[in-house]
Amino acid sequence: MPKNFSSLYLHIPFCIKKCNYCGFYSLPYREERVKLFISAILKEIELTRNLPHLIKTIYIGGGTPSCLPVKYLEIILQTLLKNYKIDKDIEFTIEVNPGTITQEKINLFKSYGINRISIGAQSFLDSELKILGRIHNVKDIIKTAHIIKNSGIENISVDLIYGIPKQTLDNFKFSLKAATSLEIKHISIYELTIERGTPMEKNLKNGKINLLNDDAIEQMYLFASEFLDEKGFYKYEISNFARQNYESLHNIAYWQRMAYLGLGPAAFSYLNGWRFYNPGNISLYFKYLSKNKLPWIREYEIKGIEELKEKIILGLRMKQGITLDSLCLINFFEELEKLKLTRINGNKVSLTDKGMLLSNEIFAKVLLHIENCSVCKQV
Ligand code: SF4
């Protein structure tokens, strides 16, 4: 584990309106609360600026970072660049919601060195955006992509969701075609998950919506994998597809278990083999920083069996897979190879397309195996 961190995540925990499916930590935008957040995040930057680092990737996510007005975005960007040592070839990403984008904001991003923008499009059908409870429509997505492209930022990523209630395979094909026609470099596709306490969970319970069946989900994922490959986007991770050399370096750093620093409420960090969690409660987050203390409420070392589990679960998300020393685990994955879920080459293991589709089930099985295996426990 390197002593220096090279990736930084900054969480902006505000949204204009909560989407029907959202389980992320985000709060409604309120001016007073946002002012307090800006003071707190500046303090957190000040308290972490002397940790050893050379930053190669920054990711500003949320919530909806682009819902902040220009004056606050500028303070954050200025302070980040002034306080940390930044590599000259940095990948600098911000997430944007198409309902909150203006030319002025994109100009600001460009002027502060942001060179990658991830658009939370989710669908190119207004009817599906409505089911998801998004604040934007399809016209907003197209306008956002054009403003970004015209600004000279060419590294654009689009997020799509599949498995939306009432979505057909043709609907999803339509969104994939519309997204790839925007000359983007990267696309992420996520299966809709129903999070606890969300309006969607409530609607599901009272029968107002129905989930798609497993066959429909499988068809969508397999179609997307094939279609995107034909369009020149190769799958480098379960949900992520990129044109050559446009993979998300920030996310790869997570999957490869590089050290990173997380700022903002609910963010977590991985430093020197330890994981640190910021509170997912903004008042508590403010309280720590108002006392000049880092808001690390929970911390624990990832070592031994926990490190082995992480290495496998995170590494297998990537197309390239992992290299294993343990014969016992190789034997375990050989059983899955018979079911065409894994590919084994010497001591290298990776998931097939079918394995990626069933990755959650496979990960659960691996964890159970490691927990119960006396050989694995000895690492
Ligand atoms: S914009 Fe993103 S973070 Fe905000 S409510 Fe919607 S899904 Fe959640």
Condensed to tens digits (0 to 9), the pLDDT of residues 158-189 reads 999 999 999 999 999 999 999 999 999 999 99
- The finding on whether 122 has its CB within 6 A of some atom of ligand 1 is no
Confidence of residue 327 (pLDDT cuts 50, 70, 90): confident
- The finding on whether 63 has its CB within 6 A of some atom of ligand 1 is yes
Return the sign of the alpha-carbon dihedral for residues 62, 64, 69, 74.
positive
Out of 14, 15, 96, 160, mutate this one to test ligand 1's pocket (max ligand atoms within 8 Å of CB): namely: 15
Name residues whose C-beta falls within 8 Å of residue 275's C-beta, 6 or more positions apart in sequence.
268, 269, 299, 300, 301, 302
Which atom of ligand 1 is least distant from the CA of 62?
3
Q: SS3 of 211, please?
A: coil
Q: Which of 7, 142, 107, 134 is nearest to 61 (CA)?
A: 7
| The pLDDT of residue 260 | 97
Q: What mean pLDDT do residues 83-89 have?
A: 97
Q: What's the chain's average pLDDT? A: 96
High-pLDDT (> 90) share of the chain, %? 94
Q: What mean pLDDT do residues 189-216 have?
A: 95
Q: What mean pLDDT do residues 236-253 have?
A: 98
Q: What mean pLDDT do residues 1-28 have?
A: 91
SS3 of 156-196: EEEEEEECCCCCCHHHHHHHHHHHHCCCCCEEEEEECCCCC
Q: What mean pLDDT do residues 120-148 have?
A: 98
Q: Which residues of the chain form CATH 1.10.10? A: 305-378
- CA-nearest residue for atom 5, ligand 1, is 18
Q: How does 21-53 read in b/e, with b if 16+ C-beta sit within 10 Å?
A: bbebbbeebeeeebebbbebbbbbbebbeebeb
Q: What mean pLDDT do residues 340-358 have?
A: 95
Report d(CA 268, CA 319) in Å as an integer.
Answer: 25
Out of 26, 131, 140, mutate this one to test ligand 1's pocket (max ligand atoms within 8 Å of CB): namely: 26
Which atom of ligand 1 is least distant from the CA of 97?
1
What does the block give as tokens for 214? 């497993």
- pLDDT tens digits, 18-71: 999 998 889 999 999 999 999 999 999 999 999 999 999 999 999 999 999 999
Report d(CA 78, CA 60) in Å as an integer.
Answer: 14
Cα 129 to ligand 1 centre (Å): 12
Does the structure show a pLDDT above 90 at 3?
Answer: no
- The finding on whether 17 has its CB within 6 A of some atom of ligand 1 is no
Out of 12, 20, 24, mutate this one to test ligand 1's pocket (max ligand atoms within 8 Å of CB): namely: 24
- CA-nearest residue for atom 3, ligand 1, is 63
Confidence of residue 377 (pLDDT cuts 50, 70, 90): confident
Does the structure show a pLDDT above 80 at 332?
Answer: yes
| The pLDDT of residue 1 | 56
- The finding on whether 24 has its CB within 6 A of some atom of ligand 1 is yes
- CA-nearest residue for atom 6, ligand 1, is 19
What architecture does CATH give domain 5-255? Answer: Alpha-Beta Barrel (3.20)
Does the structure show a pLDDT above 90 at 376?
Answer: no
Specify the CATH class of 305-378 in words. mainly alpha
Among the ranges given (162-166, 262-266, 298-302), the one the predictor scored with the smallest mean pLDDT: 298-302
Q: Which residues of the chain form CATH 3.20.20.70? A: 5-255
High-pLDDT (> 70) share of the chain, %? 99
- The finding on whether 57 has its CB within 6 A of some atom of ligand 1 is no
Among the ranges given (91-95, 161-165, 187-191, 194-198), the one the predictor scored with the smallest mean pLDDT: 194-198
Please compute Rg for the chain using Cα positions: 21
Which atom of ligand 1 is least distant from the CA of 21?
7
